[in-house]
Structure 1
């Protein structure tokens, strides 16, 4: 969650600056409070960005950060510190089982593709959001 916080903050701030200040002024003149302005102006203005960032986050959910874990990885923590990427590295390069490591890596890619495709399908149906 925290690894992507900086990038996500920049994207959300860019989307917030894309919302016209005149909408907030008109809502304030009409008597809308902070919560009403947030619910009826800010959130609909951020809806497409929220959907896009959710799709990207679901596609990245299987990536736990191989480099960070591998740097702290040793034989004492194989049973508790193993993630898909470190297991593929250990089995593929250390144990010389290239075909098994390739199959697991391909399965991970297919699972990520299915997560992205299903989240994109749901976003298209529920939020009427399409990229292409």
Structure 2
């Protein structure tokens, strides 16, 4: 199951068909369908939040209640901002799929691998390059 905590649709792992070549058309289609459903779910959540915040415009006389509501809205808006960024990554990934560049490391060009892509469908680096990238970030 993908490590995609934010409003993910049901994910069905890809079933390899014998000697199937890496990133075959059926594999690309599998990931494209999943990413489109995921994007749809995220957009629906964003719309739900907007409607919830518009409908729930309450003014509480108690400062504690007001602070509690503001905190709730702040957390919800931060989550939606993360989802907005994720939608952008999904869109970039869909372009890679359409160009048949999906599944290959943007750094070294090797196959990312189906298991990694199922865990993180928007991955653009193989595990080795991503690990090095994270270590560089850590020691900046």
Normalising by structure 2, we get a TM-score of 0.36
Question: Larger % of helix: which?
Answer: 1
